[in-house]
Amino acid sequence: MLISNTPKSFKDRWRTPVDVFKTLDAEFGFKLDVAADESNALCKEFLTEQQDALRCDWNSDGAIFCNPPYSKIMPWVKKAAEQYRRQNQTIVMLLPSDTSTAWFQEAIKTSHEARFITEGRLSFISAETGKEGKAGNSKGSVLFIWRPWRRLGCRMTYVQRKKLLKRA
C-alpha cells in the first residue's frame, strides 16, 4: 500500500494537468469548473468550497468539468447525475479508475461513457508545491461523461495518456 506524504490540508486539492484539461476542453468546451479554488481553477467560471457545489446548482451555458476531492467521491457522482439533466449540459468528471467501489458502480449506472485513460498514469499538480507529483498517481484514471441528449447506458471507451497530454 502506498502511503501519501501530502499534508491533510492539501490532500484533496490536486490540480488536473493543464495539458490534459486543454485537450478535453478542445473536445467539450468547458464553461464551469465545479470543484476548484482561486489557485487551481481551470475555467473562468468556477465553484469554490465556500460556494459548496454539492448544495447549489451547477448553472452553466456550456460543458461542466469536475475533478472532485477523491476523499469523498460518491456525493459528486450523484450530483453530476442530477445536474446534467437539470442544466441540460455535458458533465465530464475525472476520477481514479477503481472498479471495486460503490461510487464507480453508481457512475456506471448514471453516466453515458466511461473513458479509461490507458498506457500510463496522470501526474496531477500538487496544491502544496505547484509541481507535478513525482511518483505519479497511485491509480489509473477514468473520465465519466454525462450527456443530456443520450439515452442511459454507459459505453466503455479508452484514450491513451499520450493523446491527452498533447496540446489541443
pLDDT in tens, 42-85: 999 999 989 999 999 999 999 999 999 999 999 999 999 999 99
Instruction: Give the model confidence (pLDDT) of 26-45 as tens digits.
Output: 999 999 999 998 888 999 99
CA–CA dist 139, 57 (Å, integer): 30
Residue length of the chain: 168
User: Which three-class secondary structure state does DSSP give residue 162?
Assistant: helix
User: Which three-class secondary structure state does DSSP give residue 8?
Assistant: helix
Give the pLDDT mean for 125-154.
Answer: 77
User: 14-125+134-164 architecture in CATH?
Assistant: 3-Layer(aba) Sandwich (3.40)
What dihedral angle (degrees, nearest 10) is formed by the CA atoms of 90, 94, 100, 104?
-20
Instruction: Give the model confidence (pLDDT) of 82-117 as tens digits.
Output: 999 999 999 999 999 999 999 999 999 999 999 999
Residues β-bridged to residue 159? 117
